[in-house]
Structure 1
């Protein structure tokens, strides 16, 4: 296994980040909630507000689930946010794309760089193995948000933004490997399994 970074930030999406109906639908990161730890299950991610379990909207158990099979968990990299800010501007704060797990790293990653699994290890022996990794393809709404434009993007502008944000720049999806539930906390070490 090759170490690629540390968990920097954890969050859930309490509800969809896409608001409204097409063609007027837009991206709003307000439903994002930072959590001190994530419980990963076969159904998806759950956080806590200290009193109650809070399900991520991509968790199959969420009342308004947006789970479509391969998107139960998501992760991204701080280096990808650096690239997005360089391209689109400072409004793209770390985590604004909505991934559950943000990994601090100085290099960018494509799907091919991530091997067969991502393994997250806590100092107390906790292990979370994420498998079935795929690119989280960017949507038009996030692309519009990234471009920070009040006016709809032209087809050419949208295509250019989508192309830049693809190939993992916007993030990746995964699922928890078969086995027991797992917990992830900031500071946990992240490895690629070939």
Structure 2
């Protein structure tokens, strides 16, 4: 048997998330714990991309998994389970923003809450990348984090952020160009 293609691996991951959601719908707490372990970084990245505050993002992440527990019986496997989960996080983040207009810069503490092992970056690289992400506009940062951390395809990002696909693609490419200039330019930018 040959190596799995990216598409096969993505489909296997989607099927696994659907299996976990079915277990959660049946009241399986271990399935919730497994879903949390597999998707926490992506949910946190979504919340952080909106809220730019570590504590608020952590709160929304926890609230999102409470909602998953409460609403798993209503989930229907017609789309992406990750997109469903991130839509919950997006909606909770927007509610949090409406409740109190807290806006701050993406702090080192917030960036560090993303698991280091999942990024595979050295502390120096994380710091450089954090600076580059901080220079992006809100939507650009959301698109980059959802693609890089959550592993969503551009079409899924468009659905989650409720943007046209062409807008997501242009924001992603513009963000990559900005980050490349910042990262190659070093500190003198």
TM-score between both structures, scaled by the size of structure 2: 0.29
Higher strand share: 1
Structure number with the higher helix fraction is: 2
Could you tell me the TM-score, scaled by structure 1's length? 0.28
**Higher Cα Rg, which structure:** 2
Higher relative contact order (CA 8 A, sep 6+): 1
